[in-house]
Structure formats: C-alpha cells, structure tokens
C-alpha cells in the first residue's frame, strides 16, 4: 500500500525530487577502525580540535577546521574519525584531500596512545612495521538542506531519516533524528495503512517538527569556513571555547 523510502542520503527518490538543488551544508567524515593502540587506552573523544583553521596548499582560497572523534571497540580495535563542516561550493577540493589530511594528522593526534606514533613514525611506517593495522575504513559525505523535510510529489511514498532530510547539519546523518521520532513514524504508518491514507499531502505530515534545527544550523555555520574567508585562524576554536564556557557557567 505504501513505499517507505529509508534509502538514506543516496536515495534515488530524494535525488530526483531535489534535482539540482545545492546543499546548504556538508559534513565530510573519513576514518578507520584499526588495531595497534595501547591496550590500556580506553578513552573516547566526541569532538576534539587539535589545531586551528588550516589552509589547503593545493587549493588556494580553501580553509578548513578539522575535528576528531575516537572511541574503543572490542578486541583492542579503535575507531577514529576526522571530520569537517563545509558549504557545497564547487571550488572545494574533494574527499581525497580529507583522507590525505587524516593520514598526515593522525600520528600527532594519537601520539600519546600509540607507540609508533609516539616515536615519531608516520602512518605508512607504522603500517609497514605492523604496529598500525587498519581493519575497516569509512568515508561519508553528508549533505544537509534547510529545505527539509522533503515534500513528496507523488502519492503512496513516505520518506524517513536521511532520505527525508530530517537531520541535524552537525551529525553524521539522520539516524538519530529518525530514532527520536520512531514512535511517531510507527503510529502514523500503522494508521495510514489501516485507514488507507495514501495522498501525498497527508503522508508528508508524518515527519516530526524539529524546533532545535535553527540552533544547529547556527553552529554549523560558525564551525565552517567559506571559500576566500579571511577570518583569523583561531576564530572557530575561540568561539567554541567561549560557547562551552558559557553553557557550563
């Protein structure tokens, strides 16, 4: 009776509706699950900035603020992400450049928790001697649109999660937003099927209202650097420090 589109950011249905619409924000995430870190290290980082805004030598005018996330896994493995918030400017360099920076910056970030990195070795050198063993790699390009949730143009189709655009521009996708509204989705879908509701105007009402979206967009804009932007290199770190101090006071 209904088609539930839960195909994520890559949903062909969403792409068809969005057309050539330009995303308002992009979060690029790269990382690995790897072995080789000190077994006693069980710490985790949610968002860590270990440097100020960096300039891309290979792409004049582009600057990025990088953040780290890291947490332990089972059997001594550790997941470590590098991510950055951007706009969708076509002049920006691609995902490969974020991977290059991940490889170049990981030893400095993890030097206290990995013997090889602590000794000044690079990722390549530690892979060669077997002290750093990536098990999995991850690449994510999460585009976010202020024009969300997406409005279906045809009957009998319901869009949820990433596919609908109901997500925070700060997060790695809309899975959390979908879980927060799982009961709403479940009840609404059950009622729609039982009552034979299929018109697009009715089905478009299923997605929940997210009153905190304006706040998360404000954070996204403050944590990204537009092309050719002249702001001070420490601007984002200084802003975040002041914001967190204010929230904790």
pLDDT of residue 67: 96
In this structure, how many other beta carbons lie within 10 angstroms of the beta carbon of residue 82?
A: 22
pLDDT 10s digits, 205-239 = 988 667 777 788 888 888 999 999 999 999 999 99
pLDDT 10s digits, 67-106 = 999 999 988 899 999 999 999 999 999 999 999 999 999 9
Per-residue pLDDT band for 117 (boundaries 50, 70, 90) equals: very high
Judged against a pLDDT cut of 70, whether residue 172 lies above it is answered with no
When computed from its CA atoms, the radius of gyration of the chain, rounded to whole angstroms, is 21
**If you average pLDDT over each of 12-21, 56-65, 128-137, 142-151, which comes out highest?**
128-137
Is 163 strand, coil or helix?
Answer: helix
Give percent helix, percent strand, percent coil of the chain, each to the nearest 5. 35, 20, 40
* Interatomic CA distance for residues 52 and 93, integer angstroms: 19
Listed as own residue / partner, the contacts of 206-215 with beta carbons closer than 8 Å and 24 or more positions apart are 206/158, 206/160, 207/149, 207/159, 207/160, 207/164, 207/166, 207/181, 208/166, 208/177, 208/180, 208/181, 208/184, 210/166, 210/168, 210/177, 212/168, 213/168
pLDDT of residue 182: 85
Q: Assign residue 130 a region: left if phi > 0, alpha if psi is -120 to 50, beta otherwise? A: left
């Amino acid at each position: 009776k209904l088609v539930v589109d839960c195909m994520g950011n890559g949903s062909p249905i969403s792409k068809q509706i969005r057309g050539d619409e330009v995303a308002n924000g992009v979060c690029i995430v790269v990382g690995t699950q790897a072995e080789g870190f000190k077994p006693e290290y069980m710490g985790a980082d949610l968002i860590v900035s270990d440097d100020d805004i960096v300039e891309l030598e290979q792409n004049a005018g582009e600057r990025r603020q990088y953040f780290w996330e890291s947490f332990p896994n089972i059997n001594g493995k550790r997941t470590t992400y590098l991510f950055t918030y951007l706009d969708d400017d076509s002049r920006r360099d691609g995902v490969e450049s974020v991977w290059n920076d991940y490889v170049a910056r990981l030893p400095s970030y993890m030097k206290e928790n990995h013997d090889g990195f602590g000794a000044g070795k690079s990722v390549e050198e530690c892979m060669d001697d077997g002290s750093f063993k990536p098990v999995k790699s991850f690449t994510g390009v999460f585009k976010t649109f202020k024009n969300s949730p997406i409005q279906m143009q045809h009957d009998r189709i319901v869009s949820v999660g990433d596919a609908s655009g109901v997500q925070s521009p700060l997060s790695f996708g809309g899975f959390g937003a979908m879980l927060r509204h799982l009961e709403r989705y479940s009840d609404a879908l059950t009622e729609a099927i039982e009552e034979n509701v299929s018109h697009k105007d009715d089905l478009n009402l299923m997605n929940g209202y997210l009153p905190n979206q304006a706040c998360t967009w404000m954070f996204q804009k403050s944590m990204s650097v537009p092309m050719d932007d002249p702001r001070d290199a420490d601007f984002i770190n200084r802003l975040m420090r002041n914001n967190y101090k204010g929230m904790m006071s």
